[in-house]
Amino acid sequence: MTTPIIAALLVVVALSLSACEKSKTDITDAQPQITAPTRAQPAPEKDLPTEQFPHNPLVTHIYTADPSAHVFNNRLYIYPSHDIDSKSTATGSGARFDMVDYHVLSMAEAGGQVTDHGPALHIGEVPWATKQLWAPDAAEKDGTYYLYFPAKDDKDIFRIGVAKSRKPEGPFVPEQSFIPGTFSIDPAVFKDDDGSHYLYLGGIRGGQLQRWEHGKYTGVDKYPAENQPSLMPYMAKLNDSMVNLAHPLTQISLLDENGNLINQGDLARKFFEAPWVHKFKGTYYLSWSTGDSHTIQYATSDNPYGPFQWRGKLLEPVLGWTNHHSIVEYKGQWHLLYHDSSLSGGVDHLRSVKMTSLTHNADGSIQVIDAWLGD
């Protein structure tokens, strides 16, 4: 982690300097109003500082990250991680991201009032999980809502769990065990036009993808050589129950502009974590965080299984090491949900969810968003 941390610090310092100038003039988004949580009334966790950035955090009474957005019942729901200052003394990549519960946010209008529905699931309620409730996602089928979430099991291995509710905001009741055959982090569920649901997942380093070989956990961090294909995200169709895979996880191919697999040495583009799939005009878009180079890149395919061909960058680095997003269409407008660490003054593991509009060009490419500049 030493080299990436130094690199991240350099990026943050550089971006901080330029943001001081930018933030004075480019405050363009509607400012969301905050309502008190409707089910629980969590006290403010600390005296939170405010920063001048073009987009405001959707909520400021808690830290939130990794926003997965979906429209249910004509309302926009956001399923974020709930960051806490855990002061974890554990060693290892990602140990400070020691989150213990989820809150669901929602709004009736983009840029309007945001409701925090209070605690939706706590790690103490999940029989198989021991720690680190990381980036979740949600899906709906036949009036039941499913929350998909990564957590470590009793062997310190990340698995993907699922919990159910009759309401999009929860509370969610977890299954007894994790979804068989799942591993790593950052589940994202895409619902296709025919009603099929596909689960995408994966994360490198703290997300442990480098410890899996041929479907087996090795416990050893093994990375490809620079001139070899990088580690890629995995996916599987969910079966009708929504709590099991229809087939074993399969690795997705991410191709460069020449049709070759993206290499480990391709720092600017290679997959790191945070896969997200959306569909625009019949084309499947897979977007992901590059981790060490801190951008969100995207690729397209005519098939949810891929292969996906790289198309470009859609989000520049944000304040904070991680970059994690989702893309959703709501009331005729496409939106990018993302997070940064502006509210905590740049603390990597204390992030806040923000949103802005996203534009597809006529050729299907996506206009690059710079969260320091605004729209």
Which stretches of the chain bind ligand FUB, using CB under 6 A?
65-66, 81, 97, 134-135, 185-186, 203, 273-274, 322, 324
Name the active-site residue from 29, 51, 66, 98.
Answer: 66
Question: Which residue in 368, 373, 321 sits closest to 21, CA to CA?
Answer: 373
- Contact partners, residue 189, CB within 8 Å, separation at least 6: 137, 138, 139, 146, 148, 197, 198, 199, 200, 238
- Is 66 considered catalytic here? yes
Half-sphere exposure of 208 (CA within 13 A, CB side): 24
Based on CB atoms, which residue is closest to ligand FUB, 172 or 321?
321
- Is 273 considered catalytic here? yes
CA-CA distance, 224 to 334, in Å (whole number)?
36
Question: Minimum Å distance from CB 282 to ligand FUB?
Answer: 28
Based on CB atoms, which residue is closest to ligand FUB, 185 or 232?
185
For residue 258, the 8-state DSSP code is: T
Question: Minimum Å distance from CB 151 to ligand FUB?
Answer: 11
Question: Minimum Å distance from CB 99 to ligand FUB?
Answer: 7
Spatial strand order in the sheet of 101-107: 63-72, 75-83, 101-107, 115-122
Based on CB atoms, which residue is closest to ligand FUB, 81 or 182?
81
CA-CA distance, 83 to 101, in Å (whole number)?
9
Name the active-site residue from 83, 186, 273, 348.
Answer: 273
Question: Minimum Å distance from CB 186 to ligand FUB?
Answer: 5
Based on CB atoms, which residue is closest to ligand FUB, 37 or 206?
206
**Is residue 347 classed as helix, strand or coil in its secondary structure?**
coil
Question: Minimum Å distance from CB 324 to ligand FUB?
Answer: 4
Based on CB atoms, which residue is closest to ligand FUB, 96 or 111?
96
CA-CA distance, 60 to 264, in Å (whole number)?
37
Instruction: Give the residue numbers marked as catalytic.
Output: 66, 273
